[in-house]
Amino acid sequence: MANFTKEEIDVVVVGAGPSDEYVEHFNIKPKFQTCVESAFYNSGEKKWNVKSRNLTSGEIELYASDFLILATGENNEGYIPKMVGIENFKGEIIHSSDYRSGEKYKDKKVLVVGSGNSGMEIAFDLSNYGSHTSIVVRSPIHVLTREMVYIAMLLLKYLPISLIDTVIAKYAKFKFGNLAELGIPQPEEGPFSFKISKGRSPVIDVGAIDKIKLGQIKVLPKISEIKEHTVVFDNGDEHQFDAIIFATGYKNIATKWLKDYSSIFLEDGTLINWKGENGLYCAGFSKRGIAGISMDAIAIADDIKIVRGDKI
AA letter at 68: L
Give residue 155's pLDDT. 93
Percent of the chain with pLDDT over 70: 89
- Whether 192 and 165 have beta carbons less than 8 Å apart is answered as yes
Task: Domains for the chain: give ranges and CATH numbers.
Answer: 6-75+252-311 (3.50.50.60), 78-141+203-250 (3.50.50.60), 147-201 (no CATH)
Q: Is 71 left (phi over 0), alpha (psi -120 to 50) or beta?
A: alpha
Tell me the average pLDDT of the chain: 90
Position 2 confidence tier, pLDDT thresholds 50, 70, 90: very low
Mean pLDDT across 147-166: 95
Mean pLDDT of all residues in 172-182: 97
Q: How far apart are the first and last CA of the chain?
A: 39
Residue of 294 and 213 predicted with greater confidence: 213
Would you give the distance in Å from CA 248 to the centre of its chain? 9
Contact 305, 288 (CB under 8 A): no
